[in-house]
């Protein structure tokens, strides 16, 4: 994806207020992120361990989500699969809950998905990060096809949040 600035990221949040988007922690090392290998940039908020964010470029514009991650300690022993990149991990998957955009979110509506705990789907898909021994599913898809699938799953997730 195209590199984004902090300002662009803050302006892209769809499921929190403008004030919250201003206060969220955005990574300081944006210039050093491997943008060309990212389908989305995801990070955990160092100031709020139960909070994560992600930003993707969908239909030509950046869309960012705030996610609540209740933590994955209890799931650590279970092998599970990320619903975005379909990487299987030995415990590296967390339930992430996104409040819905707009009034629905203010009334408590949310959408949940199991995501790679480190939000590094793009790197697993490209083989730049190893998900552990349990991850080696035999898949006949090419990397390009896996990237397409990841982007499609992510777009579907974002669409559910903004619906």
Residue from 1, 85, 96, 154 touching Zn ion (CB under 5 A): that is 85
**What's the min distance (Å) between Cβ of 109 and Zn ion?**
24
Q: Of residues 119-138, which lie at the interface with Zn ion (CB under 5 A)?
A: 121
Looking at the Cβ atoms of 66 and 131, the one nearer to Zn ion is: 131
φ, ψ for residue 147 (rounded to 5)?
-65, -45
In whole angstroms, the minimum distance from the beta carbon of 66 to Zn ion comes to 18
The answer to whether 48 touches 42, Cβ cutoff 8 Å, is no
Applying CB under 5 A, among 26, 41, 116, 154 the residue interacting with Zn ion is 116
Q: Does 82 bind Zn ion (CB under 5 A)?
A: yes
Instruction: Tell me how far apart the alpha carbons of residues 75 and 89 are, in angstroms, rounded to a whole number.
Output: 11
In the complex with Zn ion, which residue's Cβ is closer, 105 or 153? 153
DSSP state of 13: B
Task: Name the 3-class secondary structure at 10.
Answer: helix
Closest CB to Zn ion: residue number: 82
Residue among 82, 106, 94, 6 nearest 44 (CA): 94
Q: Which tokens is 83 given?
A: 């619903």
Identity of the residue, 66 or 121, whose beta carbon is nearer to Zn ion in the bound complex: 121
What are the residues binding Zn ion (CB under 5 A)? 82, 84-85, 87, 116, 121
């Amino acid at each position: 994806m195209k590199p984004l600035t902090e300002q662009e990221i803050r302006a892209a949040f769809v499921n929190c207020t403008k004030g919250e988007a201003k206060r969220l922690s955005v990574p300081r090392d944006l210039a050093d992120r491997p943008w060309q290998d990212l389908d989305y940039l995801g990070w955990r908020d160092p100031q709020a361990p139960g909070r994560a964010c992600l930003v993707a470029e969908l239909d030509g514009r950046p869309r960012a989500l705030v996610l609540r991650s209740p933590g994955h300690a209890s799931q650590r022993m279970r092998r599970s699969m990320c619903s975005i990149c379909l990487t299987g991990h030995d415990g590296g998957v967390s339930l992430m809950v996104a409040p819905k955009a707009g009034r629905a979110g203010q009334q408590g509506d949310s959408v949940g998905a199991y995501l790679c705990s480190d939000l590094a789907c793009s790197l697993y898909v490209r083989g730049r990060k190893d998900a552990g021994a349990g991850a080696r599913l035999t898949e006949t898809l090419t990397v390009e096809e896996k990237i397409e699938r990841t982007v499609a799953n992510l777009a579907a997730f974002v669409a559910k949040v903004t619906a």
